[in-house]
């Protein structure tokens, strides 16, 4: 009897905690989307690809600008609209107000960790590496490429599709700005321009692979 009561109380506490968590996270939902998911009407069935960073929901953590932390929440990020979504216990998809988020993070099924920070005027940026004076980010964007038009001679069977693009960003002296090319990067360090350019050429840094960019940031940090 006592064990039954303890078990019942434990279930009640879990329920209270879960409901309280949903209630708190309600404070950071996006009111402009009226608690809707990504698609306000219709669906993406006629578009190839996905608007999401990952299609699966992952358990992660959200930290707000005011310092509140929401752990163990199911989240999904959509680069197409640069929005974070939260999955309620009822299975409803809710948009999180971007301006209230400091960062969100989660691990995928392989254990790889992802941390996205909300940067004013830039949106959500994926943090790649952080050193003493330099933080490297990557902006992931998705746009829709329209299907080829039917010109009257050849019927088009193609579909519109999501196209992904990625641009690195760098933070130095509290300023975050894009670095789409090596020239943009070296201009940020005029006193070390020659050394950095030599490193880029020697190591064939193409601003496409995270590993190469991490090595570049480590080298740059060693110079300043």
Local structure of 192: helix, strand or coil: helix
Contact (Cβ atoms closer than 8 angstroms) between residue 62 and residue 73: yes
CB proximity list for 168: less than 8 A, separation 6 or greater: 128, 136, 137, 138, 139, 178, 179, 180, 207, 213
* pLDDT tens, position by position, 44-59: 667 889 999 999 999 9
CB proximity list for 158: less than 8 A, separation 6 or greater: 147, 148
H or E element at residue 114: strand 113-119
H or E element at residue 215: helix 210-223
pLDDT at residue 151, as a whole number: 58
8-state DSSP, 181? S
CB proximity list for 58: less than 8 A, separation 6 or greater: 74, 75, 76, 106, 107, 108
What are the residue boundaries of the structural domains of the chain, listed by start?
2-178, 180-224
Buried b (16+ CB within 10 A) or exposed e, 155-177: eeeeeeebeeeeebbbbeeeebe
* pLDDT tens, position by position, 79-107: 999 999 999 888 888 999 999 999 999 99
pLDDT at residue 159, as a whole number: 82
Which is nearest to 201 in space by CA: 188, 222, 219? 219
8-state DSSP, 153? S
Instruction: Identify the residue with better confidence: 192 or 149.
Output: 192
Given a cut of 80, is residue 154 above it in pLDDT? no
Given a cut of 70, is residue 40 above it in pLDDT? no
Contact (Cβ atoms closer than 8 angstroms) between residue 114 and residue 106: yes
Q: How many CB atoms lie under 10 A from the CB of residue 116?
A: 25
The tokens describing 150, both together, are 């039917």
pTM, two decimals, is: 0.81
Q: Give me the chain's average pLDDT, please.
A: 84
Given a cut of 80, is residue 31 above it in pLDDT? no
**Residue 11 pLDDT class (50, 70, 90 cuts):** very low
Point out the least confidently predicted range of 13-22, 43-52, 140-149, 151-160. Answer: 13-22
Contact (Cβ atoms closer than 8 angstroms) between residue 135 and residue 117: no
Given a cut of 80, is residue 212 above it in pLDDT? yes
Q: Is 50 exposed, middle or buried (0-12, 13-18, 19+ CB in 10 A)?
A: middle
């Amino acid at each position: 009897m006592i064990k039954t009561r303890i078990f019942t109380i434990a279930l009640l506490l879990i329920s209270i905690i879960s409901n309280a968590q949903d209630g708190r996270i309600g404070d950071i939902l996006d009111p402009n989307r009226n608690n809707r998911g990504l698609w306000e009407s219709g669906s993406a069935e006629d578009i190839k690809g996905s608007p999401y960073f990952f299609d699966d929901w992952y358990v992660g953590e959200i930290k707000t600008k005011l310092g509140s932390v929401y752990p163990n929440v199911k989240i999904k990020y959509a680069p197409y609209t640069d929005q974070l979504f939260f999955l309620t216990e009822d299975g409803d998809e809710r948009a999180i107000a971007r301006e209230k988020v400091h960062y969100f993070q989660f691990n995928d099924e392989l254990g790889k960790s992802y941390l996205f920070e909300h940067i004013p005027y830039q949106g959500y940026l994926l943090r790649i590496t952080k050193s003493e004076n330099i933080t490297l980010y990557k902006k992931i964007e998705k746009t829709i490429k329209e299907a080829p038009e039917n010109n009257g001679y050849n019927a088009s069977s193609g579909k519109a599709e999501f196209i992904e693009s990625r641009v690195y960003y760098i933070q130095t002296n509290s300023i975050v700005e894009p670095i789409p090319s090596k020239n943009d990067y070296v201009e940020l360090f005029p006193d070390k321009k020659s050394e950095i350019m030599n490193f880029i050429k020697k190591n064939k840094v193409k601003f496409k692979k995270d590993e190469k960019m991490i090595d570049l940031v480590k080298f740059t940090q060693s110079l300043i």
